[in-house]
């Protein structure tokens, strides 16, 4: 409804009003690199959205990330347009792989409009692309979706699980206030071999359950927040072999830059917060997480990037990297 949209817009502006929108300085580089296995750099949600006062281009984002030891990212689509963008960008950028999906919060409207199946068909097609390595983010969000939208979320979630299994891809799960229903769905339908709880938001109990099932837990900025003791209890319980790390940029900026724009180059803050809490060496943890990440998604150089025609796309250098 228009009134709701206007109110949300005003709330967003108010939320932004008090924020420092200058991108934070780069952290001390990691000695052993890691991958950001969940970020949004697409123009509608990421760098191009203008979250920072001076938006960063994708190349600037990835160059900054490389400079601090973030070796690559998984760019995550949330609708048809951003999923297409993710697959196309990953096809020509060596530091990027893609995940494609319809976000659970978008599914009720698509279902009402009668276009959810068409959208799922696009995701199924994109899942066949070489550098698309995961289906996500999909799942259940009972925080932002009312009761009458849940049936559509369940249907879409189950369809995404099927697509992931049919294509042999990893699954990235968005679970907000829906732990029990997400787990129940995975067990009922059968989880893909590699299943990741993106931005893990449970406590020790969910972490134990994930550990029993061999499901991966990807921690984001909130694990570094002062008031996130429950998340750190989960981190204590999670086997190291099932740990992943992500930014979910441009959201969820880690301490000490909470409230400022987030970007993959800030991932070292989250990794160091995890290592601090676990009282382990950062490089040791980075090596473990890098190995886990490659087991889940494959290597970033497993499929070569397209070498585009420099004459038709001036943004692409002859070497295949974005200029
Ligand atoms: Zn996300």
- 99: CA distance to ligand 1 center in Å? 10
For residue 5, pLDDT over 90 is answered with: no
- 45: CA distance to ligand 1 center in Å? 10
Mean pLDDT, rounded, for 74-78: 98
Q: Both tokens of residue 8?
A: 């949300």
132 CB-near residues (< 8 Å, 6+ apart) = 86, 87, 90, 97, 98, 99, 100, 126, 169
34 CB-near residues (< 8 Å, 6+ apart) = 69, 70, 71, 245, 267, 271, 286, 289, 290, 293
Question: What was the pLDDT predicted at 147?
Answer: 86
Question: What was the pLDDT predicted at 17?
Answer: 52
- 287: CA distance to ligand 1 center in Å? 24
- 318: CA distance to ligand 1 center in Å? 32
- 13: CA distance to ligand 1 center in Å? 21
Question: What was the pLDDT predicted at 12?
Answer: 43
- 172: CA distance to ligand 1 center in Å? 9
2 CB-near residues (< 8 Å, 6+ apart) = none
- 309: CA distance to ligand 1 center in Å? 32
- 136: CA distance to ligand 1 center in Å? 9
- 113: CA distance to ligand 1 center in Å? 24
Residue 188 has, within 13 A of its CA and on its CB side, a CA count of: 9
Instruction: List, edge to edge, every strand of the sheet that includes 243-245.
Output: 34-39, 70-76, 96-100, 132-141, 170-176, 195-197, 216-219, 243-245
Element (H, E) at 295: helix 282-297
Backbone angles phi, psi at 160, to 5 degrees: -65, -40
For residue 322, pLDDT over 60 is answered with: no
Which of 10-19, 42-51, 214-223, 265-274 has the least mean pLDDT? 10-19
Mean pLDDT, rounded, for 71-99: 98
Q: The pTM is what?
A: 0.89
Q: Which fold, 31-297?
A: TIM Barrel (3.20.20)
- 233: CA distance to ligand 1 center in Å? 22
- 27: CA distance to ligand 1 center in Å? 22
Question: What was the pLDDT predicted at 7?
Answer: 40
Burial class (CB in 10 A: 0-12, 13-18, 19+), 42: buried
For residue 75, pLDDT over 50 is answered with: yes
- 38: CA distance to ligand 1 center in Å? 6
Question: What was the pLDDT predicted at 18?
Answer: 62
Question: What was the pLDDT predicted at 46?
Answer: 61
Structure confidence at residue 51 as a pLDDT band (50, 70, 90): low
- 244: CA distance to ligand 1 center in Å? 14
Element (H, E) at 12: helix 2-17
- 118: CA distance to ligand 1 center in Å? 22
The count of other CB atoms within 10 Å of the CB of residue 60 is: 16
Q: What is the pLDDT of residues 183-217, one digit of tens each?
A: 999 999 999 999 999 999 999 999 999 999 999 99
Check residues 316 and 158 and name the one with the higher pLDDT.
Answer: 158
Q: What is the pLDDT of residues 114-147, one digit of tens each?
A: 999 999 999 999 999 999 999 999 999 999 888 8
- 85: CA distance to ligand 1 center in Å? 15
Question: What was the pLDDT predicted at 292?
Answer: 98
- 246: CA distance to ligand 1 center in Å? 9
For residue 47, pLDDT over 80 is answered with: no
For residue 3, pLDDT over 80 is answered with: no
Q: What is the pLDDT of residues 137-179, one digit of tens each?
A: 999 999 988 888 899 999 999 999 999 999 999 999 999 999 9
- 319: CA distance to ligand 1 center in Å? 30
Question: What was the pLDDT predicted at 145?
Answer: 80
**Percent of the chain topping pLDDT 90:** 80
5 CB-near residues (< 8 Å, 6+ apart) = none
Question: What was the pLDDT predicted at 148?
Answer: 86
- 39: CA distance to ligand 1 center in Å? 6
């Amino acid at each position: 409804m228009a009134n709701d949209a206007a109110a949300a817009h005003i709330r967003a502006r108010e939320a932004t009003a008090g924020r420092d929108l200058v991108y934070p300085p780069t952290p001390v580089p990691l000695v052993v690199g890691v991958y950001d296995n969940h970020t949004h750099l697409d123009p509608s949600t990421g760098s191009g959205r203008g979250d920072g006062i001076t938006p960063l281009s994708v190349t600037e984002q990835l160059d900054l990330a490389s400079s601090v030891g973030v070796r690559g990212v998984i760019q995550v689509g949330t609708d048809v347009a951003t999923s297409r963008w993710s697959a196309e960008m990953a096809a020509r950028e060596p530091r990027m792989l893609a995940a494609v999906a319809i976000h659970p919060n978008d599914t009720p409207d698509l279902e009402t409009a009668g276009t959810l199946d068409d959208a799922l068909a696009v995701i199924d097609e994109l899942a066949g692309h070489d550098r698309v390595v995961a289906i996500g983010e999909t799942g259940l969000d009972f925080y932002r979706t009312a009761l009458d939208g849940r049936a559509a979320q369940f249907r879409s979630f189950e369809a995404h699980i099927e697509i992931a299994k049919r294509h042999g891809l990893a699954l990235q799960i968005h679970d907000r206030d829906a732990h029990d229903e997400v787990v129940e769905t995975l067990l009922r339908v059968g989880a893909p071999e590699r299943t990741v709880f993106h931005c893990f938001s449970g406590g020790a109990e969910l972490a134990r359950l994930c550990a029993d099932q061999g499901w991966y837990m990807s921690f984001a900025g909130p694990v570094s927040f002062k008031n996130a003791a429950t998340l750190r209890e989960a981190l204590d319980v999670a086997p190291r072999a099932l740990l992943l790390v992500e930014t979910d940029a441009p959201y969820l900026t880690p301490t000490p830059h909470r409230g400022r724009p987030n970007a993959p180059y800030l991932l070292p803050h989250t990794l160091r917060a995890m290592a601090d809490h676990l009282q382990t060496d950062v490089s040791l943890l980075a090596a473990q997480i890098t190995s886990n990440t490659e087991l889940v998604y494959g290597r970033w150089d497993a499929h070569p990037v397209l070498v585009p025609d420099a004459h038709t796309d001036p943004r692409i250098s002859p070497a295949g990297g974005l200029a």
